[in-house]
Chain A
Amino acid sequence: MIADIEENIHKKLDAIKKTDGKIRAFVDIFNDCTERAQEIAKKTKAGRAGKLAGTVISVKGNICIKGRRATCSSKMLENYIAPYNATVIDRLLAEDAIIIGSTNMDEFACGSDTTSSAFYPTRNPHDTTRVAGGSSGGAAASVAAGMCDAALGSDTGGSVRCPASFCGVTGMKPTYGTVSRYGLIDMAMSLEQIGAMTGNGKDAIELNRKTLEVIGGPDKRDAQCNYSIGKMTKRTHAKPPTIGIINQFFDACDKAVSNTVMRQVDKLGYEVMELSLEETKYLIPTYYLIMCTEFASAMQKYDGYKYGQKADIAKSLAESVSEARSNHFGKEVKRRILLGTYVSMKEVQDDWYTCALGVRKALTQKFEKFLGEVDLIASPTMPTVAWKIGEKATPTEMYAADILTVTANLTGLPAISVNAGEIGGLPVGMQLMGRKFEEGLVYETAAMAMDK
């Protein structure tokens, strides 16, 4: 509960004024948020305010807010004004949240550090020479720098959890199918979910749970979103959970990161069971082949006619479409479109795309088995702390950093990243992955870790 709604919005706007010139978390700030705070303060006094009354929330630039730009941090959508609200926005507004602005991201969510934004990179509030993580880097940085109480991000392969880890905040990727994607500008439909990011500590975890309760639940405008959120965010287990540790996940990390997270797991004091995932080395290829195939398909609509920056109609149709796409997509977007186009071609798809679908199926079965033996799987969220801006030289170096987060997307499982400590002043995230629809246990265990 926000004690003084008008004071809260002024504090957040002051924080933006003081720090966002350096951090660059936002693409747009909404000028009418102080008026909305006044209205909500009146409703609160009258005892009519919603569950998130006065909570200041930033929204990733790929989620549609009526009358505002939804740029996806791309030149292609630089001037696109959303004509409708995403379901998550309608639900936040109905509960009296205040949306303060739209945040920077990797272009069309293609990246793990928000340096592929067509506008500018977002910097890490803990060290501005380092990345904020991605693709929801602006969202995480806006929370970490005190510019809002919570943020909405989208997570296709770790895009909420990676920046949460790097910026030392809480980030939840809910079970696939629990939060509507209506109004989310799609990247890879079988993998992505909208999730909330909140600060560090028990209160922040509680706010995250509350936000999921508000944004989640069935929506007839998203055919995959059929699941009630009701009891899901509350714990249903009576006895202490057993925590699974996948040895290969810890081996893939910097030693200091593994040690920091393992200490946090030990502090929980629960039974720990070691697990082995020999398929760990296949996770990155499997994820990228499926994601790029879906991404290439999703990007086809940007033709300069129906969607995207206008094509030059004086040229032939093929020429004008190619020109519009080439001039307005960035390098990483082009790379992923080309990769997805190739691996889904009839001549080679059995060797790449179909093969990846097979591995995805086998991984899903494997994790169902794991989560029959343990209640949660703990690991570092990222193999390293936040890297320096420009440090990742090749695409494969960047892709490899997603090794610990992509499993939750490939299998549809819920996963949270919470702060587990610091190394040299830089935050380290711990990831807790649970059974489908058991966000309650995930949240509760994350909150327990904050007590230790």
Chain B
Amino acid sequence: MGNMETSKTFNIADMAHIARLRLDENEAQQLEKDLKGILAYFSDLQKFNGKVAEGKAAKATPRKDEVKECCVDAKDISKLFNHKEGGYMMVPKSLED
């Protein structure tokens, strides 16, 4: 993927939303410019990918999600989790072994 494609898929507003960052218009414009420049600079990496296939890391497999009956009460939500630590509910591992 080169810079042209990056420009199509990278959207600062989407990224800021996912990353829980609120950016004003000027900040968003500046960061978008910076990040597109950085991705263009990094796009050389794609060449390596094609050249040395044996170097590619094994891909991890995400675990399957398990849908459970949900509720709004915090105590009931807490009951869905067997393991808790320091006020956190521990979720299953994200990747399969």
Q: Which A residues fall within an 8 A CB radius of B?
A: 279, 281-282, 284-286, 288-289, 296, 303, 306, 318, 321-323, 325-326, 329, 331, 334-335, 337-339, 341-342, 345, 347-348, 351-352, 354-362, 365, 394-396, 399
Contacts and interface: CB of A to CB of B under 8 A. Distances in A.
Interface residues of B, number: 34
B90 interface: no
B1 interface: yes
A282 B31 contact: no
Q: Which 8 A-B pairs have the closest CB atoms?
A: A362-B55, A358-B56, A285-B42, A357-B57, A326-B22, A285-B45, A322-B22, A351-B1
A121 B31 CA distance: 22
Interface string B17-47: 0111111000100010011011101111110
Contact of A342 (B15, B23, B43, B55): B15
Contacts of B37: 394-396
Contacts of B31: 331, 334-335, 338
Per DSSP, are chain B's interface residues mostly helix, strand or loop, or mixed? Answer: helix
22 contacts: A284-B42, A285-B42, A285-B45, A286-B45, A289-B45, A322-B20, A322-B21, A322-B22, A325-B20, A334-B21, A334-B23, A337-B21, A342-B15, A348-B1, A354-B56, A355-B45, A358-B48, A361-B55, A365-B55, A395-B34, A395-B37, A396-B38
A285 B6 CA distance: 15
By CB atoms of chain B within 10 A, which of A281, A286, A345, A362 has the most? A362
B45 A335 contact: no
B19 A337 contact: yes
A356 B35 contact: no
Contacts of A342: 10, 15, 35, 39
A338 B28 CA distance: 11
Contacts of B16: 338
Interface of B: 1, 9-10, 12, 15-16, 18-23, 27, 31, 34-35, 37-39, 41-46, 48-49, 52, 54-57, 59, 87
B48 A359 contact: yes
A284 B87 CA distance: 39
Contact of A338 (B19, B52, B54): B19
B20 A303 contact: yes
A282 B45 contact: yes
Nearest to B37: A396
A337 B9 CA distance: 17
A326 B27 CA distance: 11
A129 B9 CA distance: 41
A396 B35 contact: no
Contacts of A347: 9
A362 B48 CA distance: 10
A203 B34 CA distance: 44
Nearest to A366: B55
Contacts of B48: 279, 282, 355, 358-359, 362
Contacts of B20: 303, 318, 321-322, 325
B52 A362 contact: yes
Given A358-B57, A359-B55, A326 B38 contact: no
